[in-house]
Structures are given as structure tokens and as C-alpha cells.
Structure 1
Amino acid sequence: MAAGAKQRLMSELKDLEKEKWVKIELDDGNLFRWIIGLMVINSESAFDGGYFKAEMSFTDKYPFSPPTFKFTRPIYHPNIYPDGNLCISILHPPGEDEQSGELASERWSPLQGVETVLRSILLLLDDPEISSPANVDAGVMYRDDRAQYNEKAKESVKVSHQDIPGGFTMPKTLDEAPPAKVADDDAFWVESDTEDNFGASASSDGEDAEMDDEDGEEQESEEDQEEEDEEEDEVEE
């Protein structure tokens, strides 16, 4: 079981290392404990610019058992407890829960993965579930005074910058940089035009020469025919 969990985690870690919106380190090299920097790169989000540090832990039964997730600093949010623990359906054990009303499709399953969890958390930050909040005050403020709530979110973002690792630059956008300009671009077009002109000249010259030859041959044939006709007339006379 542990071997399967390690293989799965190594594969997921390798894929997530390519992403710009998350930074992952292993806690003392322990594959079952991840230190995560979850970045909000969305100009429309109240938490835009945030670098939210968190801990994620796995058991040797992963992916059949869900991981745990906890922010290391408090975030003022309806679904985040004051100690940083998170209330989100995808981290709840598989199966339906009649008491909470959560469907099996909303909860953890082996088909889920770390990336799915992290993306769900990013969505939850901007679209909280306030019907059963972990932080009641935050839920009420989100509902009744969005402007003040957004100010609280900005405060959380500012505090989160204390956890940005030294030498690390927060990305401003998730878009890839545009491709580099082709070197000697102007020369490229000049060369292309020259080649086209030469090509057109060679082709047209060849066609003109063939047409001249054909015209010449037709003219010579007509002159020969006229001479033959004149000779026949002289003989008859």
C-alpha cells in the first residue's frame, strides 16, 4: 500500500512542479508531508496576490484516503477555521453523508488528486459556502458587508507575503511569455522577396522563350509555304 502511495505522490509532485500558481517543498524530504505555497493570481479575486502557505499530509492509504490540508496562517474566510483548518467537501472521506447532505461526487474519491484539491480551494476562496460556515463572523460579513470583507481579504494577502521564500518572485500572470522575435526579421523578408522575384523571373523567362520559339517556328512555316506557292505559280505560267 505504501509503495503505491509513494508512486502516486511522486507522479503528482512532478506534474505540479510545472505549475506557476503553486510551490511545493517536502517537509524534511518526507514525501507524505508537503509544504505548499498556494498563490492567487487573479485580478478579479479579493485575495489576488496572496501567497498562502499551507501543510498537506498523506497516509500510506493514499489515494484511497483523502489528504489533510491546513493553512499555517489564519485567513479571514467563511470556510477557514481560526486555526487554519479548512472545511471543504473534497477533503471529506468517500461516500455520501446523510447528516451533512454531501453527495459522494462532492467528496473525496481515488479519482481525485492534489491538483484537484488545490484548485477547489482556490475556487472556494472566491466563492465561499456560507450556509454552514467554519467562521460565522466571516460568513455574515461576506453576506452583509462585502466591501469590509474585501478589506479583510486584502489584509490576509498582505500578511501572507511574509511567507514568500527569499529569492522567489511572485508571478503576475499565468500566461506564458510570447515567443521570442525571430532574429534578422527584416533580412528574412528581403530574402524571401528576392527568392520570389528570382523564381518568377526564371519561370516567366522560360515561358517567354518557349513562346518566342513557337512564334518563330510558325512564322518560318508560313514563309516557306508562301515560297512554295510562288514557285508553283511560276511553273504553271
Structure 2
Amino acid sequence: MTFPEDYPFNPHTFRFNNEFYHPNVYPDGRLCISILHPAGNDPISGEAPEERWNPTQSVESVLVSIISLLADPNCSSPANVDAGVDYRKNRDVFESIVKKQVEASKSDIPKGFKMPESEKDFMPTAPAELEEDENFWYESGDDSDFGVDDFDEDDE
């Protein structure tokens, strides 16, 4: 996800770094989704202005839209025509290509990475509780706590 200097007035872009065979992903990895198209009316696109970017969109709402599009492609205006055709007419070919890409992408996973397996894995752990020191707020009795005297020499 890349944010422009004038964000949120213009949408960010979203791009997959690895091969991603999907009807709504261009061969170079850019994602084609209405919510990330610049605001305004574009009669050629066939998109209603309210489907396009507006500054009230949050990163979360964009990610939810992306996940939804990945699960349910828009094949009526594909960014990758071959993937769109395979998705509609040759689902077994489409799934075979996607599975190969998933297997190839596994080599990019860092060694030692542990895939979260449950909701618990996503929850932050509470920090260890600090022991309370009852003497924390009391003076030590030294004339010079913290290396400074409690009074100015001018006060003498």
C-alpha cells in the first residue's frame, strides 16, 4: 500500500509484489478496485461516483473491500482478462495457477515465522506487572537526593 503526499484527498495505491493471478489484479500486481479510483465522475469507467475514493475512507474499509473483491472477483471488467476468463469458464485451470503461485510464494516467508493459528495468537500479551516499591515516593534521608541539594545556596 502506497500513500500519496496529498492523502487522504487522493487514494493510496495497492500492489501485490508477487505474481497474483486474479481477474482484478493487473499482471504487474496493481489492484483494480473502484474504492481506490480517484474521486469524481468518470462516465467511461461505468462506476458511480459514490463507489470511488473519498477522503472519509479508512485504511480498514479499503482493506475490507480488497478482501471482499479477492473472494468475489468482479469479472465484468477484469484487469487481467485471462484470469477473468479462467475464473468464469475454466475454474480448475484458474485454481491450479493460483495454487502454484501460493506454493512459490512460500519461499518468501522468513525462517522462524510462526503463522497465527487462532484469535489468541493475534492478541497482545499483557506486560509483566511491576513490583510496587513502597519507598518510591519517600526521601532517602540524604541531603542531596538525585545529586542536587534541596535548597539553593542563595537561601542561606
- In structure 2, the partner of 1:164 is 109
- The 5 A counterparts of 1:17-56 are 56=1
- In structure 1, the partner of 2:53 is 108
Specify whether residues 89 and 149 from structure 1 end up closer, same or farther in structure 2 by C-alpha distance, changes over 3 A only: same
Structure 1 runs (4+) deviating above 3 angstroms are: none
- The 5 A counterparts of 1:72-221 are 72-173=17-118, 175-176=119-120
**C-alpha distance in 2, partners of 1:163/1:113?**
29
**C-alpha distance in 1, partners of 2:102/2:115?**
13
Greater helix fraction, Structure 1 or Structure 2: 1
Of 6, 12, 15 in structure 2, the residue corresponding to residue 67 of structure 1 is 12
Determine which structure has greater relative contact order: mean sequence separation of CA pairs < 8 Å that are 6+ residues apart, divided by chain length: 2
Q: Deviations over 1:8-63 (max 9, x none)?
A: xxxxxxxxxxxxxxxxxxxxxxxxxxxxxxxxxxxxxxxxxxxxxxxx21122111
| Structure 2 residues without counterparts, runs of 5 or longer | 122-156
3-state DSSP of counterpart to 2:14 = strand
- In structure 2, the partner of 1:187 is none
TM-score calculated relative to the size of structure 1: 0.47
**C-alpha distance in 2, partners of 1:167/1:118?**
27
Q: Deviations over 1:159-194 (max 9, x none)?
A: 222222333212234x337xxxxxxxxxxxxxxxxx
| Structure 1 residues without counterparts, runs of 5 or longer | 1-55, 178-237
**C-alpha distance in 1, partners of 2:111/2:36?**
31
Greater strand fraction, Structure 1 or Structure 2: 1
- 1:127 deviates by 0.8
Larger deviation: 121-130 or 158-167?
Answer: 158-167
**Rg bigger for which structure?**
1
TM-score calculated relative to the size of structure 2: 0.70
3-state DSSP of counterpart to 1:57 = coil
- 1:113 deviates by 1.9
AA of the residue aligned to 2:120: E
Report the count of equivalent residues. Answer: 121
AA of the residue aligned to 1:130: C
- In structure 2, the partner of 1:31 is none
Report the aligned-residue RMSD.
1.7
- 1:157 deviates by 1.6
